[in-house]
Structures are given as structure tokens and as C-alpha cells.
Amino acid sequence: MKTIQRRFAIMLLGMMLLFAIVNQAEADRIKDIASIAGIRNNQLLGYGLVVGLDGTGDNNNFTNQSFKTMLMRLGIQLPPDMTASSKNIAAVAVHADLPPFARPGQRIDVTVSSIGNAKSLRGGTLLLTPLKAANGEIYAVAQGNMVVGGFGVQGGDGSQIKVNVPVVGRVSNGATIEVAAPSMLDNSGHITYLLHRPDFTTAKRLSDVINKRLGRGTARAIDPMSVDVCVPIESNARVTFLSMLENLSITPGEAVARIVVNARTGTIVVGKHVMVGPAAVAHGNLVVTITESQKVSQPEAGSPGTTQVTQQSNINVNEANSHMFLLNPGPTLDEVVQAVNEVGAAPGDLMAILEALQRAGALHAEIEVI
């Protein structure tokens, strides 16, 4: 055990000297491209009541039942024939993220969202709400005054104005942690780095950089996602070790040639290594215009007929000038963009051109539609 601790102490001292004299020229730090397995947030969820609303709360049975149950827990027994009802109360879902290594007594922010038919949560106060994790255990308790960014105003004739969303609010530092956050970081002497973007090249370079700084065999690439690293067992030495390790810099492997298309917004992002083979592309639009007009028909003088109004439809078909441009073998990204811009294609038309090029075998890239 002493030999292992002495070895890690020598490694740490060597790393400190290297950081002092070596100017890192690589692009990204390890902490920016990877995370340690087991160190993550945990989601918390709870059901609660917001009170103090100015008549903008819920008007339904389950909120009234929740209000009646709350009064019973506080020792207030309502008569059996009395209904607990108030428009100043709203049923809400309360959720928050429990950060890793959180300890009892720390405070975190919570988000409050209406789950009933409340019109606004503005001015409300969240009552004591337990927050549970997926395992059903209570990790925090939330309560406090809410901040709502939106508001709504409604007139007697039904007209209304809404700014943002008035039924979602936030309580800053509104939850107190009662149970320490679970962590998968144990004392086994090993940690696993998980790459944010799985890549064989990046995993190989990550293990190589660590082994170059700390000695051969310290890191081992398991797969394109995971890199296993030997770390000190003693907690203080491990924190220092990981602090130095996460600041090492590497050059990640370049992504595959990919075109990302957002069909909802028309956004198209073309990656660096997208190449196009020789192809000729023609692009044109067929525009059909239909107009409706009214025509008045008058009867002849002295005839028993009456004036009639008839509908007349005019249909015009116009095919825009077709454009054709030639893509030479292996054009750069700039050349592809310039060629498409010269055609004057809209984002929707550009999607069709890219898909047609891929089907023709001239586009050497993946098309990902999101």
C-alpha cells in the first residue's frame, strides 16, 4: 500500500512540474469533452399546493380534495356536508435537479408548474412539498414565495392578453436537501471517463495523453465511449489527481461528414467533411395561382329577368425558369454553398436538393433530420 501511495505521489509531483513548464497546444480540455461515470444530477419531483392567489387558482375537484386533506393534516376537521373550495389555491408539480455530491442543508432552486386549470400563479406561495427521486425516497423539501415571469389579463367580454407563461414559476433556493445525493464514485481505485461524443479516435487520444503524462498503463480505452483510468484510493490525493487530470488537453477526433436538417425551422447545418461528387442539378418551381372574381349579369330592358351575380375563377400556371448548375468532383463546402445560393434555393428547396444528391450517390455524407 505504501509503495502504491509513493508511486502516485511521484506522479502528482511530476504532473505539477509538467504543468509549470509545458505549454499545452491542444484544443480541448478533458473536462470539456468527457465526464466521470457516476457523477451526474438526479431528478426530483413532488406534488404540492400554491396558495395566496388572487382568484386565479384552480376550480376542480382534485385540487379541492388536496386542500381538504391538507387541512385534516393540520388538525382542522371540516363538517361532512361542507366542500373545501377556493379559487386562491392551485395544484402544482414541483421539480428540481439534485446536484452530485449534494449534502443535507444545501439549498437548490425548484420549478413550479400548474397541473390544473389555474389562470395564473403570480403572487402565490408554495407550501411544504416533499421532493422524491425515482426510487421513491425523499431527498429534499421545498417551500417559499414564487417568482412568475408571465402575467395574463382578461376582460368581461372574453378578450385577454397574456405575456409569457403565467402558470409556471420558480422558487430560488426554495428546496432544502435532507438526504445526501447518491454517487457511484467509489474507492475502487478506478474511474471511467465517458466521452460526450463517442469516437474511437478521441478515446485513443485520451488514453494516450493520460499515459504520456502519468505513465504507461494508467489509462485504457475500453470502447469509443469509455476510458478507464487508475486513480489514488485516498480521497484527498484522488481529488488533487482528478483536478490535474481534467485540465489535460487533447485534440478530439473529427466528426463524420454529416448534414443536420431541422424540418420544422428550415435550419440546415453542413459539416466540415461533406463532399459532393460530379453531378448536374436542375431546380425549378411550378407556381399555380387561382383568383376568384364576381361578375354581375344584367337582364335586358323590359325582360322579366333579375340581376344575377356569378363567380368567375381564373387559373394561371407559371413555371419559373429552371436553373442548372454543375458540381465538379470533390468541391469544398464553400463551393457547394455558393452554387446553391446562385440558384436562389430556399431552405425547403435545399433539403430536396441534398436528398436528391444523396439518392443519386453524389453526396458523401449522412443526412440527419431532427
Tell me the CB-side half-sphere exposure of residue 293, using CA atoms within 13 A.
Answer: 5
**Binning pLDDT at 50, 70 and 90, where does residue 17 land?**
very low
Q: How wide is the angle at C-alpha 251 spanned by C-alphas 32 and 218, nearest 5°? A: 80
Distances 368 to 170, 274, 355 between C-alpha atoms, Å: 36, 13, 11
Residue 203 CB neighbour total at 10 angstroms: 24
pLDDT at 93: 96
Distances 178 to 104, 109, 126 between C-alpha atoms, Å: 5, 14, 18
Of 85, 81, 33, 84, the C-alpha closest to 58 is: 85
Q: What is the pLDDT of residues 162-205, one digit of tens each?
A: 667 889 999 999 999 999 988 777 778 899 999 999 999 999 99
**Binning pLDDT at 50, 70 and 90, where does residue 350 land?**
confident
pLDDT at 225: 94
Pick the CATH number of 2-39+184-250 from 1.10.3470, 3.10.310, 3.40.720, 3.90.1150: 3.90.1150
The three cell numbers locating residue 357? 444528391
> Which residues, in sequence order, are bridge partners of residue 24?
none
Q: What is the pLDDT of residues 89-124, one digit of tens each?
A: 999 999 999 999 999 999 999 999 999 899 899 989
**Binning pLDDT at 50, 70 and 90, where does residue 319 land?**
low
**Binning pLDDT at 50, 70 and 90, where does residue 236 land?**
confident
CA distance 232 to 235: 7
The three cell numbers locating residue 258? 454529416
pLDDT at 318: 54
The DSSP line for 134-168 is TTS-EEEEEEEE-B---EEEE-TTS-EEEES-TTE
> Which residues, in sequence order, are bridge partners of residue 227?
193, 221
Backbone angles phi, psi at 124, to 5 degrees: -85, 165
Distances 343 to 24, 153, 268, 304 between C-alpha atoms, Å: 45, 49, 17, 61
b/e sequence 144-158, b meaning 16+ C-beta within 10 Å: bebebeeebeeeeee
CA distance 251 to 25: 9
Contact status, residue 251 vs residue 205, Cβ threshold 8 Å: yes
Of 163, 52, 39, the C-alpha closest to 112 is: 52
Among left, alpha and beta (phi > 0; psi -120 to 50; other), residue 249 is beta
**Binning pLDDT at 50, 70 and 90, where does residue 24 land?**
very low
The three cell numbers locating residue 11? 506522479
Running DSSP on this structure, what letter comes out for residue 105? Answer: T
Q: What is the pLDDT of residues 259-290, one digit of tens each?
A: 888 877 777 788 777 777 777 766 665 444 54
pTM for the predicted model, two decimal places: 0.67
Task: Choose the weakest-confidence range: 12-21, 121-130, 137-146, 212-221.
Answer: 12-21
Under DSSP, is residue 370 helix (H, G, I), strand (E, B) or coil? coil
Distances 95 to 14, 28, 42 between C-alpha atoms, Å: 45, 34, 11
Running DSSP on this structure, what letter comes out for residue 332? Answer: -
Q: Where are the domains of the chain?
A: 2-39+184-250, 42-177, 258-298+307-369
**Binning pLDDT at 50, 70 and 90, where does residue 42 land?**
very high
